[in-house]
């Protein structure tokens, strides 16, 4: 091009004349409140995390699924007073439809299962990694988006499904260097709550709401908990009995309280027995106070916690056998978990377990003469067609600049395309770790 003639040697070239002064109003270059960019370093860590999510999901025979980040608001309208409802990122679209950025993945999964109906064979073992949203007043300055790994088993009524899901999370923890000394699982069943409420004739339709109230223990004053329980038609006696049962941390004590015939106890006993067989008993503990904050759980619930007690729950899940029928579908037994991308990173930082992840490009290719830029592109193509990664230097740069870039991208080799060598059908290959330099025939490059 005409500009070509005015290029000044290696150091640089004349581009269009500089703008005298920039009159444009500077946009806010930060992402919207509560959201994150993922520049290369952060994106490498996220990719590493998601790779481990995927590897474990594959190891357990799960299939990946995905759903729109935008869903009908109706998926999340549950009357139990959940935080997820209070913080729904919802709006009316241009077609006057009430829609929401998904706050979690399970309702989408339930929707897809119903949509697929009889065309899929059970059990379904599906996993997804998706961005989830909440609209929270920025008073607490918390994030408004995070990525969640979900694994769900649809069509298995036995706690063998929950045992398998917990095993998959433990497999993930072990993969990234965490042990039972670092993290554990608190396990309970909502059937504990159900059995107590039945004893005190609390209406069944209060169940979800009572769970949400109980989940706030430790987050709001106990007086407010008691007031909320009273508003859920519970008597003083029922409330005290319930709070007493929720403080239990041993299955033996639970049996003393509820008797041996209830489903809660048999489910939990079976789960702990299966944990023994899987070899992960040391990771689990019974804790009746665990109810989780989603209204749709109906049975076993569990959450991963850091044993130092500094962080919020790492992950959580449980059985939700009635969710499909709330969407008008036929009920199917279902259980699953959600695992966020934030707390786990905080924990790995705490434990010094964040992986060293650097950009690694095998080759950097550069022409020593501007007439050989095309030749350099040809060399890059040859290497790439052999499956190698190449950073092709795209402008005339001083060698000092090239070496600096080679170091930054951790290139293994520097391929120099020079006139003399090119005339002989060769290039200069420098192994950067040893400094060894060889002239290699282009068709023998590998």
Ligand X SMILES: Nc1ccc(Br)nc1
List interacting residues with ligand X (CB under 6 A).
84, 103-104, 132-134, 143-146
CA distance linking residue 266 with residue 243, whole number of Å = 21
Q: Which is nearer to ligand X, 268 or 290 (CB)?
A: 290
Output the smallest distance, CB 152 to ligand X, in A.
Answer: 16
CA distance linking residue 427 with residue 430, whole number of Å = 10
In sequence order, what are the beta bridge partners of 431?
Answer: 413
Dihedral angle over CA of 276, 277, 283, 288, nearest 10: -60
Output the smallest distance, CB 106 to ligand X, in A.
Answer: 11
Return all residues near 5 (Cβ < 8 A) that are at least 6 apart. none
φ, ψ dihedrals at 18, nearest 5°:
-60, 145
Output the smallest distance, CB 131 to ligand X, in A.
Answer: 8
Output the smallest distance, CB 146 to ligand X, in A.
Answer: 4
φ, ψ dihedrals at 61, nearest 5°:
75, 25
CA distance linking residue 129 with residue 337, whole number of Å = 12
Count CB neighbours of 233 within 10 A: 16
Output the smallest distance, CB 49 to ligand X, in A.
Answer: 15
CA distance linking residue 225 with residue 239, whole number of Å = 10
Output the smallest distance, CB 86 to ligand X, in A.
Answer: 11
Output the smallest distance, CB 108 to ligand X, in A.
Answer: 13
The H or E element containing residue 337 is strand 334-340
Q: Which is nearer to ligand X, 134 or 413 (CB)?
A: 134
413-417 sheet: strands from edge to edge: 390-392, 363-367, 413-417, 426-431, 437-441
Torsion over CA: 289, 293, 295, 301 (sign): negative
Output the smallest distance, CB 87 to ligand X, in A.
Answer: 7
Torsion over CA: 131, 132, 135, 136 (sign): negative
Q: Which is nearer to ligand X, 82 or 195 (CB)?
A: 82
In sequence order, what are the beta bridge partners of 285?
Answer: 186
Q: Which is nearer to ligand X, 147 or 280 (CB)?
A: 147
CA distance linking residue 257 with residue 236, whole number of Å = 18
Q: Which is nearer to ligand X, 143 or 253 (CB)?
A: 143
Directed axis angle between helix 222-231 and helix 207-214, to 10°? 180
Output the smallest distance, CB 101 to ligand X, in A.
Answer: 9
In sequence order, what are the beta bridge partners of 426?
Answer: 441
Q: Which is nearer to ligand X, 70 or 429 (CB)?
A: 70
Q: Which is nearer to ligand X, 26 or 140 (CB)?
A: 140
Output the smallest distance, CB 160 to ligand X, in A.
Answer: 28
φ, ψ dihedrals at 80, nearest 5°:
-85, 5
CA distance linking residue 166 with residue 123, whole number of Å = 17
CA distance linking residue 308 with residue 348, whole number of Å = 13
Q: Which is nearer to ligand X, 133 or 172 (CB)?
A: 133
């Amino acid at each position: 091009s005409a500009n070509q003639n005015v290029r000044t040697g290696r150091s640089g070239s004349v581009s269009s004349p500089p703008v005298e002064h920039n009159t444009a109003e500077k946009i806010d270059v930060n992402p919207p409140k509560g959201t994150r960019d993922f520049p290369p370093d952060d994106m490498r860590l996220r990719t590493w995390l998601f790779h481990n999510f995927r590897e474990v999901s594959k190891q357990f025979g799960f299939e990946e699924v995905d759903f729109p980040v935008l869903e009908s608001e109706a998926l999340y309208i549950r009357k139990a007073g959940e935080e997820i409802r209070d913080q729904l990122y919802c709006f009316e679209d241009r077609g006057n439809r009430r829609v929401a950025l998904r706050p979690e993945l399970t309702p989408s999964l339930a929707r897809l299962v119903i949509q697929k109906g009889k065309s899929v064979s059970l059990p379904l073992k599906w996993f997804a990694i998706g961005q989830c949203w909440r609209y929270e007043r920025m008073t607490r300055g918390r994030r408004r988006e995070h990525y969640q790994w979900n694994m769900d088993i649809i069509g298995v009524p036995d706690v063998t499904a929950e045992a398998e899901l917990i095993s998959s999370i433990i497999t993930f923890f072990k993969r990234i260097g965490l042990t039972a000394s670092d993290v554990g699982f608190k396990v309970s069943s909502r059937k504990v709550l159900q059995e107590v409420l039945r004893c005190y004739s609390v209406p069944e339709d209060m169940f979800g709401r009572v769970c949400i109230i109980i989940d706030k223990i430790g987050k709001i004053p106990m007086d407010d908990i008691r007031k909320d329980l009273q508003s859920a038609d519970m008597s003083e006696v029922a409330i005290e009995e319930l709070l007493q049962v929720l403080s239990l941390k041993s299955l033996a004590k639970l049996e003393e309280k509820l008797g041996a015939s209830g489903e809660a106890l048999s489910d939990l006993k079976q789960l702990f027995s299966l944990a023994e067989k899987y070899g992960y008993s040391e990771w689990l503990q019974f804790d009746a106070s665990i109810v989780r904050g989603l209204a749709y759980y109906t049975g076993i619930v569990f959450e991963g916690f850091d044993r130092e007690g500094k962080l919020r729950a790492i992950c959580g899940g449980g059985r939700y056998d009635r969710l499909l029928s709330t969407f008008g579908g036929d009920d199917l037994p279902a259980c699953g978990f959600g695992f966020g991308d934030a707390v786990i990173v905080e924990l790995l930082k705490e434990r010094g377990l964040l992986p060293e992840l650097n950009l690694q490009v095998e080759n950097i290719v550069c022409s020593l003469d501007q007439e050989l830029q095309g030749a350099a592109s040809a060399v890059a193509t040859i290497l790439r067609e052999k499956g190698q990664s190449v950073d092709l230097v795209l402008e005339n740069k001083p060698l000092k600049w090239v070496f600096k870039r080679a170091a930054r991208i951790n290139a293994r080799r520097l391929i120099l395309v020079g006139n003399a060598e090119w005339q002989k059908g060769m290039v200069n290959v420098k192994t950067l770790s040893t400094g060894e330099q060889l002239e290699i025939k282009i068709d023998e490059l590998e």
